[in-house]
Each structure stands twice: as structure tokens, then as C-alpha cells.
Copies of this chain bind each other. A is one copy, B any other.
Amino acid sequence: MRPSGRTANQIRPVSFTRQFTCHAEGSVLVEFGNTKVLCNATVEEGVPRFMKGQGKGWVTAEYSMLPRSTHTRSDREAARGKQSGRTLEIQRLIARSLRAAVDLKQLGENTIVVDCDVIQADGGTRTASITGACVALVDALNWMRAKGLIKTNPLKHMIAALSVGVYQGTPIADLEYVEDSAAETDMNVVMTDTGKLIEVQGTAEEEPFSFDEMQEMMELAKHGLREIFDLQKSALN
């Protein structure tokens, strides 16, 4: 039995609130149960130095948790003067995943930055961020087309992400904090709506996991992500 009473393959209620703030070209509050992340997509002219002159665009992301988005307060990274390894790792993952969704050539020499700021955390903030960021990205691309900045749609496919894990010996989907902190294994899967994989990151927290357990977790992820793709599409209509 899961603490939440959910079945092994049952994900939490997932929702997307578009235009959550008024300035960003794409602004989405994504919720996976009690996990709430604000994903703001900004369109900027030009590209970083290392991309200049290639006629291609760039997509990047930043991630942060509000100091009191968690059970106890964490230090503010801006005050400490550096981002933690965990933060950098997560924002690199979000950015790579988003770039895999976009044809950078069709973007022209423009940059899209997606800021994922965790307002409230209850497990799965990185996967919620990717899932919400993709919706904000779509809104930003539509804004670009409406403004005439791009002619075609650079989106190759939707992406979404889900955490799965092994909890008390059983593979389960969409871990919330109490499950996550006690899980033997934790795995994050980023997938396209065409059923292919972008990222798989599995970590044995307490005990090594078998090839079979990995297989089962992959199946749970595939199943849960199909539901999430449907919700993403509804939100965008």
C-alpha cells in the first residue's frame, strides 16, 4: 500500500494553468498533486556566443526552488553565491530535454529561456518542470509565429517526464515526497509523445536494482506518460 492510497501505476492529478503571469511569452503553473512549479518561457533575440553565426537558435532552462517550497527552509542560492550541484544537474536535464523537442534551425538566431521555479515541492519537481516547461515552450513558439519572428513551427514533438521507482520492493509511478525519500530506486524518464526516449536516469538509492525491475519501471513510465500527454494536449486546446 502506498502512503497516498494510490495504486502502483496511478499518477497524481496533473494540471496546467497557462498565462499564470502576465509578462512571459509562455507562463504555465504545472501541478503534480502538491508539487507546483511556475514555468516561464522568455523569447530573446540572438544566441549565446558559442552558437553565433550558425543560423540556428538555442533553448535553455534554469531551475530553482523557493527557499520555503520544502518542509524545512533551504538556503537561498543567490545568497550563498552559488547554485548547488543538484540545481545545475536538474537545469541541464531540463534544457537538454527541451532542446530535443525543437528543431533549432527553424528557430532562427533566437533564444528561448525557460525558468522553472518551484513554488511548492512534494517530490518529482524535475519531471514536473520538464512537463510544464514544454507547454510554456509551445506558448512561446506560438507567440513567435504570431509576431512573425518565425514562419514555421520548430516543435518536433511534445515531451513530458515522469518519475518512477522501486518502493518497498514494488515498482510504482509518480512518487511523492514520502515515497521518494524512502524508495530503494528512483528513475526519471523523459519521453516524446511519439513514444521514444529522451532521457533515462535511474539511481539506486538504497539497493541495486535488477534488469527486470528496470524493465518494469520503464513500462510504468510509458503508461503514465501517455496519460500526461493527453492532459498536455487538452491544456493547449
Q: Which of B44, B68, B204, B209 contacts A21 (CB 8 A)?
A: B68
CB of A88 closer than 8 Å to a CB of B: yes
- Chain B residues lying within 8 Å of A68, measured Cβ to Cβ, are 21, 23-24, 27, 40, 42, 115
Q: In the bound complex, how far is the Cα of B211 from the Cα of A66, in angstroms?
A: 36
The answer on a CB contact under 8 Å between B85 and A82 is no
Q: Mark A1-38, 1 if CB is under 8 A from B, else 0.
A: 00000000000000000000111100100000010101
CB of A49 closer than 8 Å to a CB of B: no
CB of A227 closer than 8 Å to a CB of B: no
In the complex, what residue of chain B is closest to A24 when comparing beta carbons? B68
- 17 further interface pairs, Cβ-Cβ under 8 Å (given A27-B68, A77-B78, A197-B209): A21-B68, A21-B69, A21-B119, A23-B120, A38-B66, A66-B115, A68-B115, A86-B92, A89-B92, A192-B208, A194-B208, A196-B208, A197-B210, A197-B214, A198-B208, A199-B201, A214-B218
8 contacts between A and B (CB under 8 A): A22-B34, A40-B66, A42-B72, A89-B89, A197-B204, A197-B208, A197-B214, A211-B218
Interface residue ranges, A against B (CB under 8 Å): 21-24, 27, 34, 36, 38, 40, 42, 44, 62, 64, 66-73, 76-79, 81-83, 85-89, 91-92, 96, 100, 113, 115, 117, 119-121, 157, 187, 192, 194-204, 208-211, 214, 218, 222
